[in-house]
Chain A
């Protein structure tokens, strides 16, 4: 495996979960993942590198049987700032949304 040299973010934070009982081994999660988090070996799909997950949500979005779940969002400090501010003004627990292009 290619080393990712320095491009590792915080450990043990990702909310990614895989329910093997529901999984039909279609392989979509593994093919959409940009960080190679899933590995498909023979008859199982496993979360091999959970710490590499950036919670983009592509896997969960493309899982036809909802076996993959993750709290998807953007890992952007600025978006989180905005969300703190918004929450304090309209007290809603909104999604963290970015506003860049």
Chain B
């Protein structure tokens, strides 16, 4: 559309098939680091110089979630260059930040486009933006909206006020569920290395290397490993609030022990004492490690907290793994 500051692209509030497909893809890590829209100014509906101005990041998943909630609204959208990163993480890195916001507002000539002097930012952008500095430099007052785009309609109908509840971060079952695929995909490369090591060890432990023996003997350790991985990066996150303890690794250990217990009950032939000890040392350590990595996905862990957790958990995990390997080696030779 034509405006006082030149042509501005009008965007649809409908989600097409490609948008949904792309959104699904990035949840599985497909093109996740290249999923962005060009930064700049956009129009939603038929905005006028009195229409509200929203600010967001240029991660396409964020952009799509936002525009989907804006149907029937007339407003301006300023998209910051966050290099395809979502609002919260970009705010943490400083790309969704004071400097980018100020320069983008000036670049799109927002002061000529609208008559009012208020811009609405997502609350999660606050860790990157100093509202008082933006006002001092550009004259625009930063108003922090609700955390979730879904709560924007009530924010508007409430006279630009987000309710107490809409300003609190949650971490629902669904929130946790959609984050687990990326964890699993991320674990793929180190897992492949581990699986190859297991395969080589099982293959070489017989007199002459045979592919068939290696494959059949690897099956049990591979299932145990993949189970431990799934327990750490899927089951623990899903059950997070219900598992006792505060440290994520501690939550993971409990699920890992449960996994080792299930494995020990379902063994076809009885194992040697050494192997069972190794199972109970190695599986929980793997689960604890992957559970601990979920801290970065959560909405409530702090840097100081995770550092404290890791100072204890990392040596424990390494010790447990090494003891397990020693038990296995002793078991072979004794």
Binding site for B on A (CB under 8 A): 2, 5-11, 13-15, 28, 31-36, 52-58, 61-62, 64, 71-81, 96-98, 100-101
Contacts and interface: CB of A to CB of B under 8 A. Distances in A.
A52 B127 CA distance: 16
Contacts of B303: 55, 71-75, 80, 96
Contacts of B246: 8-11
B86 interface: yes
B85 interface: yes
Nearest to A83: B307
Contact of B169 (A34, A81, A101): A34
Nearest to A10: B305
Q: How would you classify the secondary structure of chain A's contact residues: helix, strand, loop or mixed?
A: loop
18 contacts: A6-B242, A9-B301, A13-B304, A13-B308, A28-B131, A28-B132, A31-B167, A71-B303, A73-B302, A73-B303, A75-B296, A75-B301, A77-B293, A77-B306, A80-B310, A100-B89, A101-B84, A101-B89
B144 to A, nearest CB: 6
Given A75-B296, A101-B86, A55 B59 contact: no
Contacts of A74: 92, 296, 303
A46 to B, nearest CB: 17
Nearest to B97: A61
Given A13-B304, A61-B129, A75-B303, A32 B247 contact: no
Given A10-B247, A80-B310, A75 B169 contact: no
Given A32-B123, A34-B123, A35-B169, A7 B300 contact: yes
Interface residues of B, number: 53
B31 to A, nearest CB: 11
B293 A78 contact: yes
Contacts, number: 141
Contacts of A97: 93
Interface in B276-315: 292-293, 295-296, 298-310
Given A7-B241, A80-B307, 11 more contacts: A9-B302, A13-B308, A35-B169, A36-B164, A36-B168, A62-B126, A72-B92, A77-B306, A78-B296, A100-B296, A101-B84
A62 B131 contact: yes
B305 A13 contact: yes
A14 B304 contact: yes
Interface in B55-85: 59, 84-85
Interface of B: 26, 32-33, 35, 59, 84-86, 89, 91-93, 123-124, 126-132, 144, 147, 164-165, 167-169, 171, 240-243, 246-248, 292-293, 295-296, 298-310
Contacts of B292: 77
A2 B310 CA distance: 30
A8 B307 CA distance: 16
Contacts of A55: 302-304
B308 A10 contact: yes
Contacts of B240: 6-7
Contacts of A100: 89, 296
A61 B98 CA distance: 10
Contacts of B301: 9, 54, 75-76
Contacts of A33: 167
Contacts of A7: 171, 240-241, 299-300
Given A28-B131, A101-B32, A75 B168 contact: no
- Of B59, B126, B147, B308, most buried by chain A (CB within 10 Å of CB) is B126
Contact of B89 (A13, A28, A36, A98): A98
B4 to A, nearest CB: 31
Contacts of B242: 6
Nearest to A31: B144
Given A5-B241, A34-B147, A76 B126 contact: no
A14 B302 contact: yes
